Amino acid sequence: MLELRPTCENCDSPLPPHSEDAMICTYECTFCVNCVNEILENVCPNYGGGFEKRPIRPKEGLLKYPSKGNRVYKPVNLKTFKDLKETNKNIHPKDR
């Protein structure tokens, strides 16, 4: 079951379970759509993969399975991320 982390790892903006702005990678790294598009250019700074929109858990599901995602706040070091981003940003995630 997805953790539904409550904030963007980079800018710490809130991403509640019903947020349409939450993006995740295959390892559940969680970023807001603005950071993914404008800063990360669809490259996960932790693993190099791409991002997809995080699904929204139905309200009934939240009652039965509440979000227990831990807040992860570790702003991206743009200097160390530069090489990974440049290597991957023009390669489709399925081909990385």
Give 63-92 pLDDT, tens digit per residue: 888 887 899 999 999 999 999 999 999 999
**4 torsion bin: left (phi>0), alpha (psi -120 to 50), beta (else):** left
- Please give the model's pTM, rounded to 2 decimal places: 0.91
Give 25-44 pLDDT, tens digit per residue: 999 999 999 999 999 999 99
Q: What are the domain boundaries of the chain?
A: 1-81
For position 7, what pLDDT does the model report? 97
Q: What whole-number distance in Å separates Cα of residue 82 and Cα of residue 84?
A: 6
The answer to whether residues 64 and 19 touch, using CB atoms and an 8 Å cutoff, is: no
